[in-house]
Structure 1
Amino acid sequence: MQEQDSPRPETPANPEAPWERQALNTLLSAMLSEQRTARRWKVFLRLMWLVLAGVLVWNLVSYNAQAVSPTMTHTAMVAVKGEIADGTDASAENIIAAMRSALDDEGSRALVLVINSPGGSPVQAGLIYDEVRRLRKLHGKPIYAVVEESCASAAYYLATAADKIYVDKASIVGSIGVLMDGFGFTDLMGKLGVERRLLTAGENKGFLDPFSPQTAKQRAHAQTMLDAIHNQFITAVRQGRGDRLKETPDMFSGLFWTGEQAVDMGLADGMSSLDGVARDVVDAPDVIDYTRYENMAERLAKRFGAAMGEASVKALRESPVLR
């Protein structure tokens, strides 16, 4: 008779084993997930830096491809377009650097400032004005201003430093004045029952606050400042234009005129364009642009930096380690 195997004794169940395995699996899964995320970010960052480097190289190559031999006779031009203010394309820093590069070039016979601007900061315009006058003496090359649509306020301020100003008959020229604008909401706040709580150290510290009343003394102080800047503007125009200026009572009132009227008033010298000045006045029809523009690489770098910063913060917040 065949002998049957006796049943093996059962191992006592360990109620803690499933919980431990589950905790271990969860921990391992979290670690693997974190490692995968870290690897993806490393690959992504390397690819982005590679793309950025490629764009920078492409911009340098494309710029060099457009470069012209410095010994080639030409008319240099620098564009002054948009608001004249710090941090813009038409800032004093950008315009002055471009003018220096243009006049340092041995092949440039003259510099033309192509202006299309409604104005801006009197400080930035004054810096450009002074540098135009200095560079004219330093290099002995003429500097002309050519107006497109508008040359008003601070734009006209810097234009008067040029040897001559050329306009289109329909250009807007002038606006020799200074302004400081704002709003006042004190009466409206009173009707709505809103109380303004402004704490200052110095009785006049908040006199430009639109939610606080303005005293006669504060208004007079602001007007004195504006008058002083206006007089600086007028002096610069008179110094730059000299005997060509045919002053009228309204000339320095802030009014503006067409290019045709500006020529009659001595605010401008004639009507022409960039190509016309290069061809007929400078006698160097080839024009080279020395304007400093924010190129594609710089824009991408700024956007890339902002996007990467935001993505990195988001990734850190979502990392399992920080939960």
Structure 2
Amino acid sequence: MANPVSKFLSSARTALFGKPKPVVAVIRLYGVIASGGRFQKGLNMADLAPTLDEAFETKGLSAVALLINSPGGSPVQSAMITSRIRALAAEKDVPVVAFAEDVAASGGYMLALAGDEIFAHEASIIGSIGVISAGFGFKDAIEKIGVERRVYSAGDKKAMLDPFKEENEEDVERLKSLHGEIHEYFKGMVRDRRGKRLKGLRGKIFSGDVFSGVEAHKLGLTDGIGDIRSKMQERFGKKVKLKVVGEKKSRLSGLLGLSKTQSLTSTASPIDGLGKELLSAVEERFIWNRFGL
């Protein structure tokens, strides 16, 4: 039962200032999804948790909107973020609407599943409901330059798929088995969240293929074409307030190029980290390039 005093004050405010504008908290989910670390930037549960809490604690909240532009990444981090959003939505009894921008693929589409509804642009890239891992084999290369590889381990599978050893068929099958389990988990999430809205052949939807925003809507992977402003105004009126949360950043840290996990008092050499940061940037670029972005 509502507090009589609070109810009176709310009525008084409405009489004096008019009905308050509906508020939609906006969360930007941009970039590759990764566990994070000093030299690895990306979306992860640890960094996003405060933003998610802030969004669902917004005063006068009518809905939470997710702006997604992600080619995917870690399936674990994707699932954790999605689960947290759904838990908060249930706890606060607030609808969540997801909007795909350039791409919501693989783990990026998993994030979109946190929405009760999903919208995209006609040219958005949607889907990639599958699992992938890639690497290189350097066995012949180290033999040519006269390098001997020495590995010592306990456990006959500890050095599985070592890039400096001959590829083992049994190891490859084991990796495929793990991929299959993760793929089934992903497919289960899609079935659970999209339900009867899925319209296309399951073999096509779950093939790992990607689709334009238009085709994704035909397959039931999204609920329509639209952008955040037009859809939220359509739903809550022209006076709806879109409040972006979680983008407060230390000006000094930004100018120095420091990530959230880096400290001004760190004793690590900048040169020592340069290689790792470059490799991380190259890896991220490859993930985006898979979708022509």
Bin for the TM-score computed over the shorter chain: 0.7 to 0.9
Give, in whole Å, the separation in 1 of the partners of 2:267 and 2:177: 48
Matched, 1:279 2:218: no
> 2:131 is matched by which residue type in structure 1?
V
Aligned to 1:250: 204
Q: Which runs of 5+ in 2 are unaligned?
A: 1-19, 271-293
Give, in whole Å, the separation in 1 of the partners of 2:215 and 2:28: 24
Give, in whole Å, the separation in 1 of the partners of 2:176 and 2:64: 37
Matched, 1:264 2:185: no
SS at structure 2 position matched to 1:206 = coil
Aligned to 1:83: 32
CA contact (8 A) 1:98 1:291 kept: yes
Of structures 1 and 2, the larger Rg is shown by 1
The one-character-per-residue Cα deviations of 1:239-296 (angstroms, maximum 9, x if unpaired) are 1111001232221111101001111110000111111122112435211101345432
Matched, 1:108 2:57: no
The one-character-per-residue Cα deviations of 1:68-106 (angstroms, maximum 9, x if unpaired) are xxx753111000000112223522223332122111123
Equivalent of 1:196 in 137, 149, 159: 149
> 2:46 is matched by which residue type in structure 1?
E
More helix by percentage: 1
TM-score by length of 1: 0.68
- Say if 1:85 and 1:293 are closer, same or farther in 2 by CA, change over 3 A: farther
Equivalent of 1:210 in 154, 163, 169: 163
CA contact (8 A) 1:112 1:143 kept: yes
- Say if 1:186 and 1:139 are closer, same or farther in 2 by CA, change over 3 A: same
Give, in whole Å, the separation in 2 of the partners of 1:204 and 1:304: 37
- Say if 1:78 and 1:89 are closer, same or farther in 2 by CA, change over 3 A: farther
Q: What's the % identity of the aligned pairs?
A: 33
What is the aligned-residue RMSD (CA, Å)? 2.4
Aligned to 1:34: none
Aligned to 1:177: 130
Aligned residues: 241
- Say if 1:305 and 1:260 are closer, same or farther in 2 by CA, change over 3 A: same
For residue 174 of structure 1, report the CA deviation from its aligned partner.
0.3
- Say if 1:158 and 1:74 are closer, same or farther in 2 by CA, change over 3 A: same
CA contact (8 A) 2:21 2:240 kept: no
Give, in whole Å, the separation in 1 of the partners of 2:135 and 2:42: 25
CA contact (8 A) 1:152 1:176 kept: yes
Aligned to 1:98: 51
TM-score by length of 2: 0.75
- Say if 1:233 and 1:304 are closer, same or farther in 2 by CA, change over 3 A: closer
SS at structure 2 position matched to 1:250 = helix
Aligned to 2:277: none
Give, in whole Å, the separation in 2 of the partners of 1:145 and 1:213: 45
Q: Which runs of 5+ in 1 are unaligned?
A: 1-70, 312-323
CA contact (8 A) 1:89 1:292 kept: no
Aligned to 1:130: 83
Give, in whole Å, the separation in 1 of the partners of 2:150 and 2:267: 40
Give, in whole Å, the separation in 2 of the partners of 1:135 and 1:304: 31
For residue 140 of structure 1, report the CA deviation from its aligned partner.
1.1
Give, in whole Å, the separation in 2 of the partners of 1:250 and 1:106: 42
